[in-house]
Structure 1
């Protein structure tokens, strides 16, 4: 039965937007931890570690996120591992994020002048001391803009989880559109919600860049 679009429907979209943000945050945190490992494996002076990281990045970046979602949601149950839409979405997005963040952070680490490594060695610092105390703080400043840019993309990528039944902003919009038969209004509201989230992240990026540069 077709009904009118009302205030309760707007609240429903806002509640679904919370799950969009929550999923993006979980994927960013989990993917960030794994991505940092990937970035370090890419730059260490140990060829097998480099090859493993490169192979991992190529596989993840070379396959569509939708395919990765399907692998976790439909593939894991074939091996007796039951997962819901939430778990499959979080796993797929985290792994996908780790490959992209790993490359972003690898580029940031390598963009730090080699003289910084040499200066740390001259002070008698070990490799890990140079990495954590000298290189990483400088790489963080460089990586803020591309990292937040990827996070905005990650927020929009969560819309693909609607295809495995996870109710986030896009899936909620589909449900409301079918109930009210007002796709333009419903998807317009969803687009505004995505814009507010991404614009907020953009402003956060600007503030972080100003603070880190001011602290130099």
Structure 2
């Protein structure tokens, strides 16, 4: 494997990072809305978001990408592979992050909410200034853990023709006939991307465990 092939793998790595960031950012925005509705105390919103979460957590990510890319094309909405996988990962991430953050919101001691109500804070101020800052801190280890899983999950985007790191590795492997070498390099690149995040998540988890004693 020469320099040109390695640079092609780095291009695939770039798209893996971009897809992960887009999916995580979009999923974070939608996931926050899901978490707030899931913990709103309004029965129709809670049931609707519970069904949404169950749908995306109960079906394979690969199937979700297929539905977005091929299913929408069947009804006349043909999407570019990049747009399709970005939508697919955003929806997938929103369900998981929504559930993670819903649990974190409910993990904030109830006395905090009661104290905020006693101070006559309305719902938006109560969430923004009291509940969410604590919930975000509680959710950080699980959120980072999910980001690691999302990065590795981007390899499934290759199935709809999107050239991220895994597909780039497959293309180089077919050209060089050195699959062990090529995918060894691909594995190292994934490891270098995910390992620091895993260490950081474990570090945060230890710090929170010490603080809770």
Partner of 1:195: 191
Partner of 1:37: 33
In 2, Cα distance between equivalents of 1:21 and 1:106: 26
> 5+ residue gaps in structure 2?
none
In 2, Cα distance between equivalents of 1:162 and 1:200: 24
In 2, Cα distance between equivalents of 1:110 and 1:207: 23
Partner of 2:148: 152
TM-score (norm 1): 0.91
In 1, Cα distance between equivalents of 2:77 and 2:42: 35
In 2, Cα distance between equivalents of 1:38 and 1:79: 27
Note the 1:102-113 alignment, pairs <5 A: 102-113=98-109
Cα shift at 1:167: 0.3
Q: 1:156 to 1:112 in 2, by over 3 A?
A: same
In 2, Cα distance between equivalents of 1:75 and 1:42: 28
In 2, Cα distance between equivalents of 1:204 and 1:20: 20
Runs of 4 or more, structure 1, over 4 Å off, are 203-211
> Contact 1:26–1:90 at 8 Å: present in 2 too?
yes
Q: Does 1:120 align with 2:116?
A: yes
The size of the alignment, in residue pairs, is: 209
Residue of 17, 24, 28 corresponding to 1:21: 17
In 2, Cα distance between equivalents of 1:168 and 1:201: 20
> 5+ residue gaps in structure 1?
none
Cα shift at 1:63: 1.1
TM-score (norm 2): 0.93
Residue of 138, 148, 159 corresponding to 1:163: 159
Q: 1:208 to 1:18 in 2, by over 3 A?
A: farther
